[in-house]
Amino acid sequence: MPRLALSNVEVVYDKVFLAIKGVSLEVGEGDMVALLGANGAGKSTTLKTISGLLGPERGAVTRGEVSFGEADLLPLGAPDRVASGLVHVLEGRRIFGHLTPDENLVAAFRAGGSAARLNELRERVYAYFPRLKERMRSKAGYLSGGEQQMLAIGRALMTEPKLIMLDEPSLGLSPLLVQEIFAIIREINSQEGVSVLLVEQNASAALEIVHSAYLIENGHIVMNGTAEVLKQNPDVQEFYLGGT
């Protein structure tokens, strides 16, 4: 059974605009999958549907099925989805700028968890991101874009996820930092067995680390396959990899 499965998911905004048109996709246990597409293709809408951040109160109606292991996700609220092991690192990072990195990590840990577990997780985050430890006493709002992205991923790890969804972690970062952060995402996947669903406009960087990918255009999945096969595809090369 896949860790995450979407079957014929549709999302309608404001009663009329069909943003997601029958999307089906799967992320296997321990798998690392990318959802690639241009601006406005429907990537963030897909992630928000999975994490429970879209609902009628936001003018969005969802149809279809989303399952997480054996659980049917759509009837669950966002906090219950996090508790079940699904975490969403939003585009733009959304850390608490007025708190220190350490306070950000503590705030992301589940209420009622033991101090020993908290320390264990926190040390694991600092082992992945030693730079955060160096900056542990400054306000997170003063960290660089790359450090803030690291903190956003660190906060996600504090929830002890089975699957991490990342929305454009490369946004606004230099190519070198993108490489660094992507290498750590790959390490988290391989060392902890955490499944990853990575949303990216930067297809060439994403296809270097994921096992497989789906391409989304205009709310439709237009292609999917292993990273190796997609990289060889002439249309992917022309439209997603800038002709390289």
- Binding pattern for the stretch 192-231 against ligand ATP, x by CB under 6 A and - elsewhere: ---------x------------------------------
Output 62 or 104, the one with its CB closest to ligand ATP: 62
Rounded-to-integer distance, Cα 220 and Cα 23, Å: 6
Rounded-to-integer distance, Cα 2 and Cα 6, Å: 10
Window 38-77: residues binding ligand ATP (CB under 6 A):
39-45, 58-59
Residue 146 near residue 173 (C-beta atoms within 8 A): yes
Min dist CB 8 to ligand ATP, Å, is 17
The pair of structure tokens assigned to 149 is 């992205």
Number of residues forming the site for ligand ATP (CB under 6 A): 15
Min dist CB 181 to ligand ATP, Å, is 18
239 binds ligand ATP (CB under 6 A): no
Residue 31 near residue 209 (C-beta atoms within 8 A): no
Residues 21-27: contacts with CB under 8 Å, at least 24 apart: 21/218, 21/219, 21/220, 22/64, 22/220, 23/64, 23/216, 23/219, 23/220, 23/221, 24/221, 25/214, 25/221, 25/224, 26/2, 27/2, 27/3, 27/163, 27/195, 27/196, 27/197
Q: Which of 2, 5, 12, 13 binds ligand ATP (CB under 6 A)?
A: 13
Min dist CB 102 to ligand ATP, Å, is 30
DSSP assignment of 131-155:
HHHHTTTS-GGGS-HHHHHHHHHHH
Output 58 or 94, the one with its CB closest to ligand ATP: 58
Using the contact rule CB under 6 A, the part of the chain among 22-30, 33-41, 70-78, 137-145 near ligand ATP is 33-41
142 binds ligand ATP (CB under 6 A): no
Q: Which of 4, 6, 9, 19 binds ligand ATP (CB under 6 A)?
A: 19
189 binds ligand ATP (CB under 6 A): no
Of 24, 28, 1, the closest CA to residue 196 belongs to: 28
Output 45 or 148, the one with its CB closest to ligand ATP: 45
Give 82's contacts (C-beta < 8 A, 6+ positions apart). Answer: 51, 159
Min dist CB 91 to ligand ATP, Å, is 6
17 binds ligand ATP (CB under 6 A): yes
Rounded-to-integer distance, Cα 81 and Cα 66, Å: 11
Using the contact rule CB under 6 A, the part of the chain among 14-22, 104-112, 123-131, 137-145 near ligand ATP is 14-22
Interface residue list for ligand ATP (CB under 6 A): 13-14, 17, 19, 37, 39-45, 58-59, 201
